[in-house]
Amino acid sequence: MAPDLVHLLPAPGPMWGPYPQRGDADKAPPARGLAWRAALGRYRALARAAAPHAAQWRALPAPQRPAALAALRTELRRQGLCAGTTARALGVVSACAVDALGLQARATQLMAAGALLDNHMAEMATGEGKTLAIAMAAAVAGLAGMRVHVVTANDYLARRDAHQMASLFAALGLRVAALADAGMDAQARRAAYRHDIVYATAKDLAFDFLRDRQALGAHHRYHHAARGLGAAAAAPPALMQGLCMALLDEADSILLDEADVPLILSQAAPHAARRAFLWQALALARKLDAPQHFTVRPRDRHAALTAAGEARLAELASALDGPWRRPRYRREAVVTALAALHVFERDTHYLVRDGAIELLDEVTGRVAPGRVWSRGLHTLVALKEGLSPPPETETVAQTTFQRFFQRYWRLCGISGTLREAAAELRAVYGMQVVAIPLHRPSRRRTLPTRLFADRDSLRDAVVQRVRVLHDQGRPVLVGTDSVADSQQLSDRLQAAGLAHRVLNALNDAQEADIVARAGQAAGVTVATRMAGRGTDIEPDAAALAAGGLHVLSCQHNPSRRLDRQLAGRAARHGDPGSHEHWMAQDAAQAVGMSALAVAAAWPIARDGRIGGHLLDAARRMAQWQEDRRRTSLRRQLLLQDLEWERRLAFAGRSA
């Protein structure tokens, strides 16, 4: 694509081809070097300029609106998203939102939509109306002729947001679809992508792109296909219509938290001998003892053999033939089996449901449909649980979120927690973070952090705190680390006679109902990280009168952004509310806090506010170190993905 075309709006057609996507030679435009004051001034002016256009639209007689809308479409496609056309379009869209949804867009929401249309990342606090801001930006882009992918953190949010905003898009003559059904066949997915706006998860989009790349050719430059119509006609029909614009909700979760594992498209490959080998590996691993023969590092999800373990393994495998004669091969297999036995835990890392292993996303706490562990780990965990292992697979294509989202011609996103990741977002994606101010001052109270000797004493204290808040009539949300933790706390609350609801991956089908009731006065909800993003808990009038929602976080999060997400469930829209963080001494190292830091804070943390500050400082330092480690991991994955593509290209030229 010629550099001068980068400034036009990408859309399937003669200019961009049937499948627009950014290639390696098409450099992304650099992020605008706007200072934060200049950026806010720019988008405040845009919001003010949109207001008269909204008033003009509301004054326009209904019979004249279709013609005016067609004129706006033509203007957007001819002039692009310059300041004048963007302001006019946002004004029209915000006026339609009042009629279709009964929602009056605030100036801050118009500012956020303007930043998104400018290819920026907008940090907008939880409860400030991100869903409407995203929909307005998507609507303007759709009117301009682009195919828009609104990327959500999970299937539930894709369905919810597409349904909530459907009437707005319909009023503007735009079609919307939600790609949130794992059972959709290729024909249904292809039909969904023909809509103007598609709500989907990042994994759905990335895997459909990999399927298209496999079907159409790994090295085919789709945006040049218009120059070779013969080749394009012979190709199978693609699922997607290219990568024109991606608008990311909870952008840091998608681009950072979920981007530290490669995305692998695989197919079944029968390997009966491999399965038997893994069964033998598990049997041998069960004959080794810790710490004499092996050590485990749960935080790194790693097991290692000691020298004595190497010798013992050689002795145990001496009667076996084939691959067991190769020391390196047998070592890797048994180390993986040890991890399956002693590192990966049921109801923490995975569920057993309907006779199968279902992996849990450590960031969201949700089941990750279709995700499997590689290198035999999935089979080993299934064997450990006494289940029939799934068929062995082989990799046919792979990518990373970094490489996938770099292929979009236009990329933007929004989240309540972006400033900690601003440097990485600028370095990898060339995007600037713009902070959108609150529309009302926050009334959230943050109580001191508390430390407890162990998880049992923490749970006992949680029961007492919940009882006090329940008697006051305040709703309570308790955040836990895992499904197992949520179930154990639920048992304590039930034994104490405290009615409550549990939101975890085991009852995700009831998520909408649980969230709808979580803001009721005196209601108690125990949740995993499922409640940390996209969960809009609305306290009722009695709950607000009692002091609003109280969030009690008992999570040991690896990132400060996750702490802020959970705290953001309370005191939204300027309502009253409070938040506090409790930690167990025996679990503090889950976020990398050193034993020395915990021991130093322990003598005064039990009773004093100073101890809370010391704990916060130690926790934030550990989280900063963990963020650096994961940033390095994502960088390595990106380099590996580039190497994978280079090898594919070389193999294609050789063939």
CA–CA–CA angle 318, 271, 647 (5° rounding): 100
Determine the Cα–Cα distance for residues 100 and 177; give it in Å rounded to an integer.
Answer: 17
Both structure tokens of 73: 């479409």
CA 447 vs CA 430, 465, 608, 609: distances in Å: 37, 13, 12, 9
Domain with CATH 3.90.1440.10 in the chain: 270-391
591: left (phi over 0), alpha (psi -120 to 50) or beta: alpha
Omega of the bond prior to 369 within 30 degrees of 0, cis? no
Helix, strand, coil percentages, rounded to 5, for the chain: 55, 15, 30
Determine the Cα–Cα distance for residues 525 and 527; give it in Å rounded to an integer.
Answer: 6
User: Which pLDDT score, from 0 to 100, does residue 222 have?
Assistant: 40
Domain with CATH 3.40.50.300 in the chain: 33-264+400-435, 443-630
Determine the Cα–Cα distance for residues 527 and 402; give it in Å rounded to an integer.
Answer: 30
Q: Which fold, 270-391?
A: Pre-protein croslinking domain of SecA (3.90.1440)
pTM of the entire structure? 0.82
Q: Which of 90, 95, 97, 96 is nearest to 112 (CA)?
A: 90
For tokens 């890392």, what's the residue? 349
Paired with 151 in beta bridges are 200, 248
**Cβ atoms of residues 647 and 397 within 8 Å:** no
User: Which pLDDT score, from 0 to 100, does residue 33 have?
Assistant: 53
Q: Which fold, 443-630?
A: Rossmann fold (3.40.50)
CB within 8 A of 545, min separation 6: which ones? 473
* E strand residue ranges, 347-505: 350-353, 356-359, 393-399, 410-415, 433-435, 443-446, 450-452, 476-479, 501-503
Averages of pLDDT over each 10 residues, the chain, 655 residues: 53 90 71 66 94 96 95 93 94 97 96 95 92 98 97 89 97 94 84 97 92 72 41 67 95 88 70 78 93 86 91 89 86 93 93 91 79 85 89 74 93 93 89 92 91 88 96 96 94 96 89 89 94 84 96 91 91 93 76 55 49 75 84 84 71 56
**Cβ atoms of residues 584 and 458 within 8 Å:** yes
Neighbours of 104 (CB within 10 A): 12
**Cβ atoms of residues 55 and 277 within 8 Å:** no
Alpha helix (H) ranges present in 385-522?
A: 401-406, 422-429, 455-472, 483-495, 511-517
Burial class (CB in 10 A: 0-12, 13-18, 19+), 124: buried
User: Which pLDDT score, from 0 to 100, does residue 321 have?
Assistant: 81
CA 501 vs CA 391, 513, 556, 565: distances in Å: 37, 10, 21, 20
Question: Class of the 33-264+400-435 domain?
Answer: alpha beta
Rg (CA), the chain: 26
CB within 8 A of 172, min separation 6: which ones? 69, 92, 93, 96, 139, 142, 143
Report which secondary-structure segment, H or E, holds 213: helix 202-216
**Cβ atoms of residues 46 and 114 within 8 Å:** yes
